[in-house]
Amino acid sequence: MSGARLLGLAGVVALALVPLLPLGPAQEYIWHVIIQIFLWSFVGNAWSLMGRFGLVSLGHGAFLGVGAYATVLLWNFYGMTPWAGAGLAILITVAFALVVAYPCSRFQVVGHYFGLVTLAVGEVIRLLIVAERDWTGGSLGVTLTTGGTASDWWTLQFADKRVFYYVGLAAWLFGLWVWWRVDRSMARSAMEAIGEDETAAASVGIRVARFKMAITALSAALTALGGALLALYLAYANPDTLAGIGVSLRIVFAVVLGGMYALLGPFVGTALTIALSEYLRIYFGIKLIGIAETIYGLLLIVFIIFLPAGIYGSIAQAARRRLARPSGRLPLRA
Amino acid sequence: MVDPIFLLEAVVNGILLGGVLALLALGLNLIFGVIDIVWIAYVDLVTLCMYGVYFLVSLYGWPLWLAGLAGVGIGALLGVLVHLLIITPILSSPPINQLLATGGLLFFIQSVATLLWSTDHRSVRVSLPTLEVGGIFISFTRLLAFGLAILAMVALYLFLTRTYTGTAIRAVSQDREAIALMGARPQRLYLVTSAVGGAMAGVAGALLIIQYAVHPYFGGAFGPLTFMICVLGGLGNMVGAFAAAFIMAQVISVGGVLVSTEMGYVIAFVIFIVLMFVRPGGIFARRA
Amino acid sequence: MLELHAVTAGYGAFTALWDVSLRVAQGEAVAVVGPNGAGKTTLLRAISGLIAPRAGRIAFEGAELAGRPAYEIVAHGIAHVPEGRRLFPQLTVAENLKMGAFLPSARAHFRESLERVYALFPVLAERPTQRAGSLSGGEQQMLAVGRALMSRPKLILFDEPSMGLAPVMVLRLFDLIRRVREEGYTILVVEQNVRQVLKLVDRAYLLEVGRIKIEGRAAELAEQDFVRQAYVGL
């Protein structure tokens, strides 16, 4: 087994053992933060499946929101257990994604056009959620109807946060696995070709529309799952925290900060942003609402201009270059 | 069913709304058509101008017309700043980076506004009469805003067709090298374009603050709407954007009366998606 | 009037001109001929400022122009009619000509220049509001030349003016350039059509693979060997 794989396995084992550590009185809070990091990194990885190939979506909040709300509402109104409800939510989200992706993929809606369309999609979903306030609760959000703090496998509610730690860890690892598989697949080469020159790619026989829609569907499905998990964990869904421009840009920012083209980029970026926002919340409390996002926005601009590969991505690039120096040849992976 | 009087009123209001939306769409399109970068944060610049006019009137007691003019100036200044600080460094970056940079700006503006001025809705009190024409009520404020918007667009048209700089701006979007051979500096033309685009945002801001309340997320509803209008009209197509603005305004206005305000937007979006299927290059697709 | 001394220029890692020196005296008509890929277009682009030379000097009426940007160089009195015309396709004939007079010094004499251009090219006067992109090849070439004249230049650079034109139009075009020359402008023409251009100019240079190979008076060069060399590069 190669060195990297061994290291990876060791890392996973270490992470699996973390909940057994005694973390003192603040442990509930620490679990909370770590679970958020896992779930949002998962969403970030899902976004970067599209982002790294030039399909920059500024409206992923739509997929997140549909996934979250569908899961919660299916349980609240129809008693469908989230085990099935999440699955149905994913299907709904994918269907929706395909409807939007079809005209975009078939008719070469790329770059700025595409970004604008996704922006519109994201906001409209949020507006829809707010508009249908009778059953979505509007701006106030909707709570998962549960039996209080008791554990219930049926609705994935657990008294002990550590169970959700494993759920989050599993989801995150699953997301990494999917990302890694796509990275190694023909789809990656095809998408990169499409990203460089669609017409040329099509002339070589690459089914451009099909690939684009497949990647979009995959990204949407995973994001929807992330939305469902977040809603289940928090037992609450709110149009501003799980849908709309704000959350869409926050996802994008975290991935860009860490590095869009690296496997662990979204994780690094998400960990940093969540750590930053928690720190700011502790330090400033409710005195300066919006300070975290202000800093994010500023950093996003700065990073895009000066460090487009992100923190982790840049370090990874530099490390690879240093490793390649003895032989004088760069490895082929970007 | 809805009283036909209300429907007629909605149609008229739709036309009045269309005027201001057209202004927004033209400003955005001007910049995209010339510099080839979409300012995702464009409507948030409008928000800042709205705040500007609001504070000049309510804190410093300026007369509205003067504050409005100052708003236009603020817009032009913001346009210049955005171009110099954010756009110029990323002119040759891939579209992803350009989108993310202006997206980051949107994020930044909305958060700074929240930080500085909280999420309170603020409006400028304008006591203008409501006219009654043939049974329907028309707010004079809206009519005034519509008239001024049309005026601003005419001014833009004259600038682009009658002046040397305006014609040069149209030329630089067609052939950058050739216009340099005529003695015009492309970089300077881009700067002027950004200033003009910003000024249009300023005009829009001044016209909007007298009709709507401003808050940090004002760009949330108007932003995607403006983008949909631009895409529908064909990105870069001024005439298309103008027409699309009125069409969308009608959908929202009439939809708002028939169902609800938010659903008006949703219906507009659905129509947008359907039209994307039918005419992906926009209703008035630019011939290559 | 114009003097190039040891100019080396290229694009990125590729060098198109090596150590090129040439002169154009006031009132002269000079041609630079050579096979495809010789570097003729690069030469004009270096003079007009679209690219900056890597080495050498370009002096125009005593002023050093090498490396200066294009919008500055045109202000010194050099107009460039680019390869392929490079008109503004969506602008009208009148607007294209207006852009030609963008320089403040040209704007002051706009009316006068416009009348001159319309007198030289009556076809343009007939359709001032037509989109430049919809003109025929010959009309486009006339508009391109007219546009250059609007900047009130002293030296005019023509880059492959006969390219893409039907043979009948080519004859008319060279006649046109001759008339422009007679108006008093100094001319530097880069051309593939050696036979025709030699009838027009006083002197000519042969440029091959980025270097000047031959220089001489047009009358002397208009014999078989030179023409063959210019086409085939032997």
pLDDT in tens, A40-89: 999 999 999 998 887 888 889 999 999 999 988 888 888 878 788 889 99
DSSP H or E run through B21? helix B4-35
Write the residue in A102, A104, A305 that is nearest to B90 by C-beta.
A305
Whether B82 maps to a domain, the answer reads yes
Task: Read off the pLDDT of residues B259-281 as tens digits, 9 standing for 90 and up.
Answer: 877 778 888 888 887 777 776 66
What range does the domain containing A257 cover?
Answer: 26-324
Residue B98's domain comprises 23-216
Touching status, chains B and A (3+ beta-carbon pairs under 8 Å): yes
Task: Report if residue B95 sits inside a domain.
Answer: yes
Q: What pLDDT is attached to residue A333?
A: 47
Contact (Cβ atoms closer than 8 angstroms) between residue C85 and residue C141: yes
Query: What does the pLDDT average to over C17-46?
Result: 88
Residue of C153, C148, C152, C170 lying closest to C161 (CA atoms): C170
pLDDT of residue B51: 94
Q: How many CA atoms lie within 13 A of C63 on its CB side?
A: 13
Residue A257 near chain B (CB below 8 Å): no
Number of compact structural domains in chain B = 1
The CATH number of residue A170's host domain is: 1.10.3470
Residue of A nearest to B115 (CA): A290
Three-state SS at C29: strand
Given CA atoms A225, A230, A231, A237 in this order, what sign does their dihedral have? Answer: negative
A5 in a structural domain: no
Q: With respect to residue A4, please indicate whether it lies within any of the assigned structural domains.
A: no
Collapsing DSSP states into helix, strand and coil, what is residue B74?
helix
C106–B174 C-beta distance less than 8 A? no
* Nearest residue, CB atoms, B38 vs list A99, A116, A249: A116
Rounded CA separation B126/B144 (Å): 12
Residue A205 lies in a domain: yes
pLDDT at A220: 95
Residues of A in contact with B229 (CB under 8 A): none
Whether the per-residue pLDDT at A334 is higher than 70: the answer is no
| Shortest CA distance from B90: residue in chain A | A305
More confident of the two residues C232 and A34: A34
Give the residue with greater pLDDT, B55 vs A117.
Answer: B55
pLDDT at C226: 64
Given an 8 Å threshold on Cβ–Cβ distance, is B167 in contact with C91? yes
Distance CA C188, CA C28 (A): 8
Mean pLDDT within C30-34:
89
How much is the pLDDT for C144? 93
CA distance A296 to chain B (A): 7
Task: Supply the mean pLDDT for chain A.
Answer: 82
Residue A1 belongs to some domain of the structure: no
Q: In this model, does residue A294 exceed pLDDT 90?
A: no
For chain C, the domains span 1-77+155-161+186-234, 82-153
Comparing CB atoms, the residue among B100, B109, B224 nearest residue A252 is B100
Q: Which of C50, C80, C102 lies closest to B168 in CB terms?
A: C102
Model confidence pLDDT, tens digit, residues A10-28: 888 877 777 777 666 777 7
Residues of chain C contacting B179 with CB distance shorter than 8 Å = 88, 99, 102
Q: What is the dihedral of CA C161, C167, C168, C170, to 10 degrees?
A: 20
Average pLDDT, chain B: 88
Rounded to whole angstroms, how far apart are CA atoms B90 and A306? 10
A17 interfaces chain B, CB cutoff of 8 Å: no
Residue among A139, A284, A298, A255 at smallest CA distance from B112: A298
Query: Which of B155, B160, B157, B168 lies closest to C107 in space, CA to CA?
Result: B168
Q: Is residue A299 part of a domain?
A: yes
Q: Say what the pLDDT of residue B288 is.
A: 34
Strands C29-33 and C186-191: parallel
Most A CBs within 10 A among B32, B48, B84, B262, hence the mutation to make, goes to B262
Return d(Cα A109, Cα A103) in angstroms, integer.
8
Subunits next to C (3 or more Cβ pairs <8 Å) are B
Let me know if chains B and C touch, i.e. at least 3 Cβ pairs under 8 angstroms. Answer: yes
Measured distance between the N- and C-terminal CA atoms of chain B, rounded to whole angstroms: 46
Asked whether residue A188 is assigned to any structural domain, the reply reads yes
pLDDT of residue A328: 47
Q: Do B168 and C99 touch (CB under 8 A)?
A: yes
A-contacting chains (≥3 CB pairs under 8 Å): B
Residue position matching structure tokens 């030289």: C120
Residue at A14 is within a domain: no
Q: Helix A265-284 vs helix A291-306: angle between axes, to the nearest 10 degrees?
A: 150
Q: Which residues of B touch A119 (CB under 8 A)?
A: 40, 223-224, 227
B65 touches chain C (CB under 8 A): no
Q: Identify which has the larger pLDDT, C232 or B69.
A: B69
> Which tokens belong to A139?
């701006």
Task: Note whether residue A18 is domain-resident.
Answer: no
Report the residue from A51, A292, A304 with minimal CB separation from B104: A304
pTM of this prediction? Answer: 0.85
Two tokens, residue B244: 């699309």
- Tell me the residue type at A49: L
Which residues pair with residue C20 across a beta bridge? C7
Short-list B234, B201, B215, B198, CA closest to B33: B234
- CA dist C67 and C57 (Å) reads 9
For position C115, what pLDDT does the model report? Answer: 92
Token reading at B128: 């203008």
**Any domain includes B104:** yes
Q: Is A130 on the interface with B (CB under 8 A)?
A: yes
Tell me how many residue pairs between chain B and chain C have CB atoms under 8 A apart.
Answer: 70
A156 reaches B (C-beta below 8 A)? no
CA dihedral C192, C195, C197, C200 (to 10 degrees): 180
CB-CB contact of C189 with C162 (8 Å): no
**pLDDT (tens digit, 9 = 90+) per residue, C48-69?**
999 989 989 999 998 898 889 9
Question: B184 vs C87: CB contact, 8 Å cut-off?
Answer: no
pLDDT digits (tens, 9 = 90+) for A192-249: 787 777 778 778 777 778 888 899 999 999 999 999 999 888 888 888 888 888 889 8
Fold adopted by C1-77+155-161+186-234:
Rossmann fold (3.40.50)
Residue B132 neighbours by CB distance under 10 Å: 9
Is A102 in CB contact (< 8 Å) with chain B?
Answer: yes
**Touching subunits for chain B (3+ Cβ pairs under 8 A):** A, C
CB contact under 8 A, A291 and B93: no
Distance separating alpha carbons of residues B233 and B286, to the nearest angstrom: 9
Q: In this prediction, what percent of chain C has a pLDDT beyond 70?
A: 95
Q: Residue A330: which residues within 8 A CB-CB, separation 6 or more? A: A320, A321, A324
pLDDT digits (tens, 9 = 90+) for B118-127: 888 988 877 7
The whole-number pLDDT of residue B287 equals 42
- On whether any CB of chain B is under 8 Å from the CB of A240, the answer is no
Higher pLDDT pick, A189 / A313: A189
Note whether C touches A: 3 CB pairs or more under 8 A: no
Mark yes or no for CB contact B104/A298 under 8 Å. Answer: yes
Residues from chain B that touch A300, judged by Cβ atoms under 8 A, are 100-101, 103-104, 107-108
Alpha helices for A21-81 (secondary structure H): 27-51, 61-78
- Let me know if A166 is exposed, middle or buried by CB neighbors in 10 A (0-12, 13-18, 19+): middle
The C-alpha of C174 sits at a distance from chain B's nearest C-alpha, in angstroms, of: 23
Mutate to test the interface with B, among C41, C50, C88, C95 (most CBs of B within 10 A): C88
